[in-house]
Amino acid sequence: MAEAFLKQMAGGRFEVESAGLEPGKLNPVAVEVMKESGIDISRNKTKSAINLFKKGKRYDYVITVCDESQSGACPVFSGRGERLHWGFDDPFRFEGTHEEKLQQTRRVRDQIKETLRHWISNKISPPNSPNLL
């Protein structure tokens, strides 16, 4: 979700890649709530942070969005880039009915979007100017 929002909100100002410890599968509930926001992530491929590292990828910013209870298991990416950690609940861990999972995932989606909106406005807006978003 964070990758898709950053691509949409930053208007190409950042090259964005998302990866986890191990490639997995997309969460269908996350796909559904992102569609509600007008973003289709259904064709996104999951990637491994290890594979990106092996390819020699370097980043100015490495932002982990792991669940706080799993923050020790977040991918670590070497290099000089600024490292940020934003803890959000992991929608794969949500339990309950489909509607309850949707509600919880919507909450996380909205938290991610607002966190990114704030971060982007501080990174690409000149000081003392109105936010771009």
Within-domain flag for 59: yes
Q: Would residue 129 count as lying in a domain? A: no
Range of the domain at 39: 2-119
Q: Has residue 75 been placed in a domain?
A: yes
Domain count, the chain: 1
Band (70; pLDDT cuts 50, 70, 90): low
Task: Give the tens place of pLDDT for each residue, 9-57.
Answer: 987 888 888 887 777 889 999 999 999 999 999 999 888 888 888 888 8
Please report, rounded to a whole number, the percentage of residues in the chain having pLDDT higher than 90: 46
Predicted structure pTM score: 0.82
What average pLDDT does this structure show over 59-67?
83
At residue 127, the pLDDT reads 45
Report the C-alpha gap between 68 and 61 in whole angstroms. 19
Between CA 91 and CA 99 the distance in angstroms is: 13
Cβ proximity of 49 and 77 under 8 Å: yes
pLDDT of residue 89: 92
Residue 61 near residue 81, CB atoms below 8 Å: yes
Length of the chain as a residue count: 133
State the CATH number of the domain containing residue 54.
Answer: 3.40.50.2300
The answer to whether the beta carbons of residues 131 and 121 sit under 8 Å apart is yes
